[in-house]
Structure 1
Amino acid sequence: MVYACQQPEKASDNPFITDLNAPVDYANVTADDISEYAQLTLKNADAQIEAIRQTANPDFNSVFAAFDEVVNAVSIASNRSFMLYWVSPDSASRVNGLNSYKLLDSLSTTIYSDKDLFNQMVRVRESDEYKGLPENRKRLVDDLILNFEQSGVNLEPEKRERYLALNKEINQLTSEYSNNMNTAIPVLELDEEGAEGLPENFKNTYRTADNKYEIPVMNATRGPVMSNAASEETRKAYYMLFNNRAADKNLAILDQLVQKRHELANIMGYETYAHYNLYPKMAKDPETVWAFINDLADRAKGKAKTDIKELSKLKAKDKSKINGKKLKAWDVSYYTNEILKNKYQVDHEALRSYLPIDQCLKGVLDIYSQLFGLEFKKIADASVWHPEVDMYEVFNGDQLVGRFYLDLFPRPNKESWFYGVGLKSGKMTADGLEVPTNMLLGNFTRPTETLPSLLSFKELNTLFHEFGHIIDGLSYEGEFSLQASSKMDFIESMSQIFENWTMDYEMLSSFARHYETGEVLPKELFDNMLKAKNVASGYKAISSLRNCFYDMNLYNKYNPEVALDTDELWKKLDKEMGVMDIYVEDTHPQAAWIHINTHPVYYYGYLWSEVYAQDMYTQFEQNGLTDQATGKRFRELILSTGQQRDIMVAVEEFLGRPSNNEAYIKSLGLN
């Protein structure tokens, strides 16, 4: 049975208010529309929540199904508002998008600490009806009650007020941090000598009228500069600028975030924020995370030390070095690239010529289409928020199953990272399936008048990864929107798995062609890439683990009695890990690192998820990378599951055995 809630009040001329599955007319959305939409959503939610509170004989439909309707509407409005804050070219829309997001987010906080609402839910769980509910509905009851408990619903009034105040303050600080990070784009100015080694196409993009170069320091330019600049001064200058973005403002904000999150956790009865944050996740507690990352660090450390020795030998032989023989943090990418080019004949900049973004995107869509039996239709003249944005509709046979937007290139004031962004989770309604809607937010190298956007191999992996998030989002067809997402520390596995497709020549050669000649990527070049797959893999693993340790130290080892020094923490970790002094004096990478801002106690999740991703990939290795039977099982058992059932049970059903980390260890060359 699909619960039909009371129809909300509508503003017929607001472009956000549409019939079921009609797209938003984004081209005509104004800043006022965003605010009105948020206010209307808030008004409707208040009325519907009050109706749930007043239900005399609460049952699953009148409480939990009705609550899902409310949360779904609020989440959609919140997601759309925040998305426009991230991507709108209109400053007023960005301001109203952020303010509307904050308004709706504060509503979410208030809802989840509503004692009357909580009591209605508890009454249902204590009823005879609960005992006979199917698994997904019983899980919804249990998970929602836990969410309420985690949101302070059982706190004494004074503590609950403080909890709500802290939540509001934390949300304000995270918004300020993100805004500071996204608007901090310093420029590195170079002459011809300083630009030596940089790819010609890259140089042409940033050449000035006086034949110098002005390179914006951002994610899209980091790889080309740090991997190719022959001048150590250039690499160092770029490194210093990149790792000081927004430091003048965000270091103080980070200190406040850590302190306030710790206080919030204490109010909730937890020892640290990590204890509080991890409880609903797969890992459950900090001890499990520490054991996980310590084990991986022990496994990776030997290979990492070998990697550093090899890179250090290269620098010692380099006559252009200016800072002595010791390998510095700004040297690692450059000398790693030198090994790839000279030992394995892999030139990643030359490889770009075979990876124009339009061909890569077509290749991604073709592969996903074959694997899952889906059809992707680009919609001509779609109504979007920027002329560069494209909209696609996704069909399974004749049935519309989803929609997604592509916003792929950097521009001023746009969010600067890469994301698969959920806009609408999807769910069953009384009128049929409300289809999921997602967006791929990218910052790939922008095309020029003479050159298409050419991806690095790393960016190609990112494209496959983020589109994996899109497919994950589009696969949900469950009853309730609240069950659409999996556990937070499992989510990445469902996109990480698809990075493996880029390391298969049959897959890669189906779309990797030279942008000028049409030549297919040479098999010899691919074979060399395969041989070089684990170059510096130990160091890369340790670098990721270093971030995990940093994140966990901030939120699990914080002591309010001792002044926090987030720079000293980097030095402490380098000493404890004993691989390399990665930290550089007078840099503050923690000031422009989105994870510790908006996703605290999360970084371990990338490695945690990777273990599952590589294990699940063994089924595709065995059956074929475009085998639809395996793709269908993966989509039905894993991608569409969300939290309707225990994800570990689903993984073991897909594998036909208990999961293990053998494939992950093998993928790093650490076995």
Structure 2
Amino acid sequence: MTNLPMTNPLLQNHALPPFTAIKAEHVVPAVTQLLDDARKALAQQLDALGNVSWETLVAPIEERGDTLNKAWSPVGHLNSVCNSDELREAYEQGRQLLTEYFTELGQNEQLYKAYQALRDSEHYADLGQPQKKTIDNAIRDFKLSGVALPASEKKRYGDIQQRLSTLTNQFSNNVLDATHGWFKHIDDEKALVGLPEFAVAAAKHAAEGKKLQGWVLTLDAPVYLTIMTQSENADLRREMYEGFNTRASNRGPSAGKWDNSDIMEEILPLRQELAKLLGFNNYAELSIEPKMAESTEQVVAFLQDLASKGKPFAEKELKELQDFAKSEYGVASLEPWDVPYYSEKLKLQRYNISQEELRPYFPANVVVEGLFTVANKLFDIEFEDKTSEVETWHESVKYYQINQNKKPIAGFYFDLYAREKKRGGAWMDECRVRRQTATGLQLPVAYLVCNFNPPAEGRPSLLTHNEVTTTFHEFGHGIHHMLTKIDVAAVSGINGVAWDAVELPSQFMENFCWEREVLAFLSAHFESGETLPEDKLNNMLAAKNFQAAMFLQRQLEFSLFDFLLHMHYGENDFAGIQPLLNQVRDEVAVLSPPEFNRFQNSFSHIFAGGYAAGYYSYKWAEVLSADAYSAFEEAGIFDHEMGKRYLHEILQKGGSEDAMELFKNFRGREPKVDALLKHSGLAA
């Protein structure tokens, strides 16, 4: 290992990651060396520690954390966007080493006492708010890492964390493999009746990629959603539905092949044991400890209240859909794979608009330019394409620099298109965090990732309006990370922000996709260049809340299932994962899926992401974002003063103050649920 430092790109301090140079074999040696160095440096630091101050205690720890983050960030990112067997194995080994290290750090009593001493010292009063919040959060996190546990329980805590790290990663890998491991090969074009031209061309292209004649349909989200909403072939819709909703389970076409059932049954008791070790009754209690919500009862009451408000509206929407399918198409009973299809037909009849009809007006490049225009009007920032000067991981990835007053303040990678070996969904992650270093200010850099249909056969990538809102959503996370003015890493950007408030900026941005003023420059037909015509625009806005209540109930179903699962798993009367999900559906859903549906087996948010007992935060934060946006509706959506205030009070402050305080500073009061109900068309 001695000759590695000079040649290992992960051990060199690059301004931006050298993606093409990073290989799987670099990962474990780099992580091992960085952790060895960090351990030695910490031991020396604690031995030499006299009077504790920010400079002697926290600053060196932040510096080492940032070095580690800059090496690990591109590894985790490549594992998501360019997955391979070699990288997957190296990533898993690296994750284990990091989990062990951070558990050790969180349980270091000497370090904990040093932070306590700093908190109790006179020096604390002289620190800035971001520094105070960093110290307060650290002390809380020491306690949540089991610093006060007896030695045997500390060891058990560490073992559980290691095992959970392995299991959640395996869950994610299984979902990825199950998604890409199944496809439908079609040799008769008649089976594709109803699909738009671009989708047929993409299926042809996919078949060529697999050296097959005919057409290939995959379970990638853009393909799947197009089939479910457009295909006239009910058998094909059912087959795709079954393939998608049995992924990583013991049912369906790939039954047992990448099954996550046992993994879930191992993750959940480990989480409950972890919570009990730390003195909580269940994992849901542990999960909300650093969040805005004050109690598990408050979260359940919040979700159940929304569900009871939304359910009558959802039942009405479903009845309208059933009546429509029966009267217009003679369909006596709607199956779940029929719902998206006939919903599109009803929307078309009622509002003379559909997602597919809107697609030609939203070429990806026009949407991105429109997004930048919105950000410029709101926050006085400019965007500069620097792709040619930066290394990326795929030819379709772009890199932009954000400038303010002609000076760079941040940068981000934009990876928009679905492809093999890339995990599904859309997300933002940090590449570099803003912080003050010994040599100057380190600017924040983000990864923004989506999974849209790539350009094909000379056509640009054309987005549905839903995909447009997804782009704005992820960009909202991105600017929360990038427009921060906080120079302390632990509370800079999205760091240190309560998890149930972290969706505020992302959901806030979605609102602009529905504004006439914005749609005028956010749309341009990919052939004629004309913006969305007045009649289509009116119809689209009229259809904004089409089936909003059914969508709300679906989200509440996920949220309640997740939260109750982490509250009650392992209790004497707990019936099981599937029975609990059925029970939640009985309470809030208006349409129950078929018996073979195994949605939970691919619910990566809670079994492989950071949303365990936290999925409710989407709805919780939507109350905040709808209320925040209503301030712009009152003042004018591009009101300069309002934009400045939102930037200053919400985006720039990062996690340096409690989320509720920041919201109250911006809005002048606590949040109200009214704006969310109004925006969703569910206000009485």
What TM-score does the superposition give when structure 2 sets the normalisation length?
0.92
Q: Deviations over 1:131-186 (max 9, x none)?
A: 44443322222111000000111011111111100000001000001011112122
User: Aligned-pair distance for 1:259?
Assistant: 1.3
User: Aligned-pair distance for 1:491?
Assistant: 0.7
User: Aligned-pair distance for 1:369?
Assistant: 2.2
Amino acid at match of 1:309: K
Residue pairs, 1:85-104, within 5 angstroms: 85-88=79-82, 91-104=85-98
User: Aligned-pair distance for 1:254?
Assistant: 1.1
Measure, in 2, the Cα distance between the counterparts of 1:300 and 1:193: 40
Does structure 1 retain, via aligned residues, the 8 Å contact 2:646–2:666? yes
Measure, in 1, the Cα distance between the counterparts of 2:360 and 2:335: 30
Q: Deviations over 1:558-585 (max 9, x none)?
A: 12546763222222122223x4242311
Amino acid at match of 1:654: F
Establish whether residue 502 from structure 1 lines up as the match of residue 513 from structure 2.
Answer: yes
How many residue pairs get aligned? The number is 658
Does structure 1 retain, via aligned residues, the 8 Å contact 2:272–2:283? yes
Establish whether residue 565 from structure 1 lines up as the match of residue 558 from structure 2.
Answer: no
Structure 1, unaligned stretches of length 5 or more? 1-8
Measure, in 2, the Cα distance between the counterparts of 1:89 and 1:539: 35
Measured at CA, do residues 547 and 592 of structure 1 come closer, stay the same or move farther in structure 2, by a change above 3 Å?
A: same
Establish whether residue 601 from structure 1 lines up as the match of residue 613 from structure 2.
Answer: yes
Match of 1:237?
A: 239
Measure, in 2, the Cα distance between the counterparts of 1:81 and 1:469: 21
- Of 107, 111, 122 in structure 2, the residue corresponding to residue 113 of structure 1 is 107
Establish whether residue 537 from structure 1 lines up as the match of residue 548 from structure 2.
Answer: yes
Match of 1:649?
A: 661
Measure, in 2, the Cα distance between the counterparts of 1:89 and 1:143: 34
Amino acid at match of 1:544: Q
Q: Deviations over 1:334-353 (max 9, x none)?
A: 22211210111012101101
Does structure 2 retain, via aligned residues, the 8 Å contact 1:139–1:645? yes
Establish whether residue 364 from structure 1 lines up as the match of residue 376 from structure 2.
Answer: no
Does structure 1 retain, via aligned residues, the 8 Å contact 2:287–2:614? no
Q: Deviations over 1:47-94 (max 9, x none)?
A: 332133221322232222332223333333332221121123654344
Residue pairs, 1:173-572, within 5 angstroms: 173-185=167-179, 186-190=182-186, 191-207=188-204, 212-247=214-249, 248=256, 249-319=259-329, 321=331, 325-379=332-386, 380-484=388-492, 485=495, 486-561=497-572, 565-572=576-583
Amino acid at match of 2:351: Y
Measure, in 2, the Cα distance between the counterparts of 1:498 and 1:244: 33
Establish whether residue 168 from structure 1 lines up as the match of residue 162 from structure 2.
Answer: yes
Measured at CA, do residues 393 and 648 of structure 1 come closer, stay the same or move farther in structure 2, by a change above 3 Å?
A: same
Does structure 2 retain, via aligned residues, the 8 Å contact 1:493–1:609? yes
Measure, in 2, the Cα distance between the counterparts of 1:44 and 1:84: 24
Establish whether residue 630 from structure 1 lines up as the match of residue 638 from structure 2.
Answer: no
Does structure 1 retain, via aligned residues, the 8 Å contact 2:292–2:660? no
User: Aligned-pair distance for 1:108?
Assistant: 1.5
Structure 2, unaligned stretches of length 5 or more? 250-255
Does structure 2 retain, via aligned residues, the 8 Å contact 1:231–1:320? no
Amino acid at match of 1:256: E
Measure, in 2, the Cα distance between the counterparts of 1:331 and 1:90: 36
Measure, in 2, the Cα distance between the counterparts of 1:347 and 1:580: 23
Partner of 2:337, secondary structure, is: helix
Match of 1:49?
A: 42
Measure, in 2, the Cα distance between the counterparts of 1:180 and 1:504: 40
Measure, in 2, the Cα distance between the counterparts of 1:514 and 1:50: 62
User: Aligned-pair distance for 1:410?
Assistant: 1.8
Identity %: 28
User: Aligned-pair distance for 1:243?
Assistant: 0.6
Does structure 2 retain, via aligned residues, the 8 Å contact 1:623–1:630? yes
User: Aligned-pair distance for 1:239?
Assistant: 1.0
- Of 8, 13, 38 in structure 1, the residue corresponding to residue 31 of structure 2 is 38
Partner of 1:206, secondary structure, is: helix
User: Aligned-pair distance for 1:236?
Assistant: 1.6
Establish whether residue 580 from structure 1 lines up as the match of residue 577 from structure 2.
Answer: no
User: Aligned-pair distance for 1:629?
Assistant: 3.2
Q: Deviations over 1:184-236 (max 9, x none)?
A: 12213444443222212212211358985321012122221111122322222
Amino acid at match of 1:448: A
Does structure 2 retain, via aligned residues, the 8 Å contact 1:81–1:101? no
Residue pairs, 1:14-33, within 5 angstroms: 14-17=8-11, 22-33=15-26
Partner of 2:148, secondary structure, is: coil
User: Aligned-pair distance for 1:274?
Assistant: 0.4
- Of 69, 74, 92 in structure 1, the residue corresponding to residue 68 of structure 2 is 74
What TM-score does the superposition give when structure 1 sets the normalisation length?
0.94
Does structure 1 retain, via aligned residues, the 8 Å contact 2:106–2:147? yes
Measure, in 2, the Cα distance between the counterparts of 1:199 and 1:523: 23
Measure, in 1, the Cα distance between the counterparts of 2:648 and 2:27: 35
Partner of 1:401, secondary structure, is: strand
Q: Deviations over 1:237-283 (max 9, x none)?
A: 11111011111321111111111111111111111100011111011
Q: Deviations over 1:506-532 (max 9, x none)?
A: 211213111111121112111111111
Measure, in 1, the Cα distance between the counterparts of 2:295 and 2:142: 19
Superposition CA RMSD, Å: 2.1
Amino acid at match of 1:246: A
Measure, in 1, the Cα distance between the counterparts of 2:544 and 2:136: 44
Does structure 2 retain, via aligned residues, the 8 Å contact 1:360–1:512? yes
Measure, in 2, the Cα distance between the counterparts of 1:206 and 1:351: 21
User: Aligned-pair distance for 1:285?
Assistant: 2.3
Partner of 1:610, secondary structure, is: helix
Measure, in 1, the Cα distance between the counterparts of 2:581 and 2:594: 9
Does structure 1 retain, via aligned residues, the 8 Å contact 2:362–2:523? yes
Does structure 2 retain, via aligned residues, the 8 Å contact 1:468–1:494? yes
Measured at CA, do residues 581 and 113 of structure 1 come closer, stay the same or move farther in structure 2, by a change above 3 Å?
A: same
Amino acid at match of 1:632: K
Q: Deviations over 1:592-620 (max 9, x none)?
A: 11112122112100000111111111222
Match of 1:4?
A: none
